[in-house]
Amino acid sequence: MTDKTSWGQMAEKELRGKPLKSLTWDTLEGIDVQPIYTAEDLIGLDHMGSVAGQAPYTRGVKATMYAGRPWTIRQYAGFSTAEESNAFYRQGLAAGQQGVSVAFDLATHRGYDSDHPRVVGDVGKAGVAIDSVEDMKILFDGIPLDKISVSMTMNGAVIPVLAAFIVAGEEQGVSRTALSGTIQNDILKEFMVRNTYIYPPEPSMRMVADIIEFTAAEMPKFNSISISGYHMQEAGANLVQELAYTIADGREYVRVAIARGMDVDAFAGRLSFFFAIGMNFFMESAKLRAARVLWHRVMAEFEPKNPKSSMLRTHCQTSGVSLQEQDPYNNIVRTAFEAMSAVLGGTQSLHTNSFDEAIALPTEASARIARNTQLILQEETGVTNVVDPLAGSYYVEKLTADLIDEAWDLIEEVEEMGGMTKAVASGLPKLKIEESAARRQAMIDRGEEVIVGVNKYKSKTQPDIEIRDIDNNQVRDAQVAKLKAIRASRNKVTCDGALLELGRRCEEGGNLLEAAIEAARHRATVGEISLAMEGTFGRHRAEVKTLAGIYGSAYEGDENFEAIQRSVEGFAKDEGRRPRMLVVKMGQDGHDRGAKVIATAFADIGFDVDVGPLFQTPEEAAQDAVDNDVHVVGISSQAAGHKTLAPKLIAALKVADAEEIIVVCGGVIPQQDYDYLKAAGVAAIFGPGTNIPDAAQNVLDLIRKSRGHKSS
């Protein structure tokens, strides 16, 4: 009799008639987590038996890991202006932070200068506005770039932003050879989930290769790419999807560089990865262990001679999606658990989210708590004293193996499609991630996945917390003034010449980053450099696709859900058509998880749902609403542009003589903005944690009321 058999007999007695199977946890990943693991579960596992610093690097890429050197504490931040962000970075470095991680505003991400008419609501929101080398110099004023590593989350406008950084370093007296850090430069992920792309896939991949080529030759301390699974998990990917698609993206980038004629050992050692760490504690740790094994397996096909080429090094960030507006101090606890999970998984650097980031950009006080969470982990808990303390855990080792197997199956599926570029073009990975997001949202709304303070153990009162508010108009005015000064003071002839050379290389060949550095040195702006390339490559516009049936299937047989569906059917009978909703994303915010989940859920409830294209202006959204003859427009907001964009949409509807169309908002909207939005004409606001069927009933009641019907 095995240990498991004897345990099963004892467990069945304790369960008093309930099946033993009831103790198995059916995860979103499709991995059935057993209630107990024994040595039997480790028999035949291929990844077992190695030590840290030894292939396949399951236990860590360094022999000594944190016992030799703790992970880097790196806080991701960008606050409207370069001046404010610089002050925050300096303060953080003085308080124990060890690297700088830059969040750019959405105008910068999308390659627009701050004075462009399409970014009125985006300047300085969700990150720092960078229009030129001058902004970049202010951003790093007093921060020695030869000593402090800099991570920049940038993909779409990666060429002009990296160029401005290199020139800012040179003008600070730091040569490009001494610059250390990482540029994200992961465009495939953008086409899948985050959507802050500019150019079509083919020229975008050329830019990736140009950066890998340039940095390998000129910047030996700088990581040319950070292959990101983080944004996949934030968009709804389960851990197997995040793991598989991230590794598959990495494989594609290696192939692109080799196709350029580069030797694998010339660049592979400077590739890095970026993963999200959510609340599935042990599985997240196992995910990082599995990632290292999978990357070593993938790199074997390229036959590198340097072992470092096969080592997966990663930065991690605690989950933004797990942060909740309700009972926000709970987020401190969530972040601490997620940080511990990342550390036990062997991350090389870590960002811990501030508890108020479910609502707004962090305050100095909340950022200090987040930073101190890591310092306490490093200095007080003893976790740095033992290399890979989870090694040998029956549960963790079996989870590691399960994740390796499940992720490899997905990676092979991508290979059968011809690689990740073709897979992304097909839309399949994006679709699978959106399906996962819809399933998880249904689990939360049904209470099957507990979120304390949101769908269980709710507090009757909510604490008042300080919120960082950004005056978008003030920031934009200041940036516009800077742009005018730069354009007035620069040598127009040399600047225009540099931009023409960049355009020529787009058409005829040559390294684009090298040309952009010269243009930035002559004070060409981020928007001008982006436009010079757009002249050849164009601007990419994605096809909008929506799901059906995924959310509703989770509610099959649910009486309350069926009651809402009957209410919708009743409206359709009264009106002769179904309630019709347009879901819009305005401004340059490409995070569309919330919009896509709402669209599929409302459609499954019975609404007719249209989804507008990304990056609309309020005027364009209003016209879509009129053209589609909708009853209601739902604004999805995540990047804090709602105070600017929602009133503009309402004004545009009025101009179009369509005031009868109801406007509602959902997403990351601070409570203190509610009165402002309602005064502007917003009929209802649905914050984070809103139960979607309840929201659908609320919206239906609003439509009925506006049309003179009684609420059902």
CA atoms 89, 95, 100, 106: torsion sign: negative
Amino acid identity of residue 175, one-letter, is S
pLDDT higher than threshold 60 for residue 711: no
pLDDT higher than threshold 60 for residue 710: no
What pLDDT sits at residue 593?
Answer: 83
Q: Among the listed ranges 97-106, 401-410, 413-422, 527-536, which one has the minimum average pLDDT value?
A: 97-106
Collapsing DSSP to helix, strand or coil, 102 comes out as: strand
By CB neighbour count within 10 A (0-12 exposed, 13-18 middle, 19+ buried), where does 5 fall?
A: exposed
By CB neighbour count within 10 A (0-12 exposed, 13-18 middle, 19+ buried), where does 316 fall?
A: buried
Task: Answer yes or no: are the C-beta atoms of 277 and 351 closer than 8 Å.
Answer: no
Residue burial 192-207, b: 16+ Cβ < 10 Å; e: rest:
bbbbbbbbebebbbbb
Tokens 């949409």 correspond to 649
Tokens 């590794």 correspond to 247
Sequence-separated (6 or more) residues with CB below 8 Å from residue 145: 168, 169, 172, 174, 178, 179
Q: What is the mean pLDDT of residues 494-505?
A: 97
Alpha carbon distance 253, 250 (integer Å): 5
Task: Answer yes or no: are the C-beta atoms of 308 and 257 closer than 8 Å.
Answer: no
CB atoms within 10 A of CB 471: 12
Q: What region, left, alpha or beta, does residue 396 occupy, with left being phi > 0 and alpha being psi -120 to 50 degrees?
A: alpha
| pLDDT tens-digit readout, 461-485 | 888 887 777 677 888 999 999 999 9
Q: What is the mean pLDDT of residues 230-250?
A: 96
Alpha carbon distance 378, 610 (integer Å): 49
What pLDDT sits at residue 673?
Answer: 86
Alpha carbon distance 64, 51 (integer Å): 10
What pLDDT sits at residue 197?
Answer: 93
Token pair in block for residue 572: 């359709």
**If pLDDT is split at 50, 70 and 90, which confidence band does 62 have?**
very high
What pLDDT sits at residue 463?
Answer: 84
Q: What is the mean pLDDT of residues 203-210?
A: 95
Task: Answer yes or no: are the C-beta atoms of 306 and 267 closer than 8 Å.
Answer: no
| pLDDT tens-digit readout, 149-171 | 998 999 999 999 999 999 999 99
| pLDDT tens-digit readout, 20-35 | 999 999 999 999 999 9
What pLDDT sits at residue 582?
Answer: 96
Token pair in block for residue 599: 């669209």
Q: What is the mean pLDDT of residues 336-350?
A: 97
pLDDT higher than threshold 90 for residue 640: no
Secondary structure (DSSP) of 642-669: HHHHHHHHHHHHHHTT-TTSEEEEEES-
Task: Answer yes or no: are the C-beta atoms of 524 and 495 closer than 8 Å.
Answer: yes
Residue burial 317-340, b: 16+ Cβ < 10 Å; e: rest:
bbbbbbbbbbbbebbbebbbbbbb
Q: What is the mean pLDDT of residues 260-264?
A: 94
Integer Rg of the chain from CA? 26
What pLDDT sits at residue 361?
Answer: 75
What pLDDT sits at residue 388?
Answer: 95
Residues catalogued as catalytic: 76, 230-231, 585, 589, 591
Mean pLDDT of all residues belonging to the chain: 92
Q: What is the mean pLDDT of residues 608-631?
A: 94
pLDDT higher than threshold 80 for residue 273: yes
**If pLDDT is split at 50, 70 and 90, which confidence band does 108 have?**
very high
Task: Answer yes or no: are the C-beta atoms of 279 and 235 closer than 8 Å.
Answer: no
**If pLDDT is split at 50, 70 and 90, which confidence band does 577 have?**
very high
What pLDDT sits at residue 709?
Answer: 61
What pLDDT sits at residue 213?
Answer: 94
How far, in whole angstroms, is CA 325 from its chain's centroid?
Answer: 18
Q: Among the listed ranges 51-55, 102-106, 281-285, 379-383, which one has the minimum average pLDDT value?
A: 102-106
Task: Answer yes or no: are the C-beta atoms of 288 and 275 closer than 8 Å.
Answer: yes
pLDDT higher than threshold 70 for residue 639: no
According to DSSP, the residues that pair with 276 across neighbouring strands are 317
Collapsing DSSP to helix, strand or coil, 281 comes out as: helix
Amino acid identity of residue 109, one-letter, is H
With pLDDT > 70 as the criterion, what percentage of the chain qualifies?
Answer: 98
H helices of 260-363, where?
Answer: 264-267, 281-299, 330-345
**If pLDDT is split at 50, 70 and 90, which confidence band does 277 have?**
very high
Alpha carbon distance 360, 466 (integer Å): 10
Q: What is the DSSP pairing of strand 271-277 with strand 314-318?
A: parallel
Sequence-separated (6 or more) residues with CB below 8 Å from residue 699: 579, 581, 602, 632, 634, 662, 664, 684
- What residue ranges in 386-506 does DSSP mark as E strands? none
Token pair in block for residue 408: 């490899």
Rounded to 10 deg, the angle between the 492-508 and 512-521 helix axes is 170
Enclosing H/E stretch for 109: helix 106-109
With pLDDT > 90 as the criterion, what percentage of the chain qualifies?
Answer: 75
Task: Answer yes or no: are the C-beta atoms of 104 and 130 closer than 8 Å.
Answer: yes
Token pair in block for residue 475: 């920031």
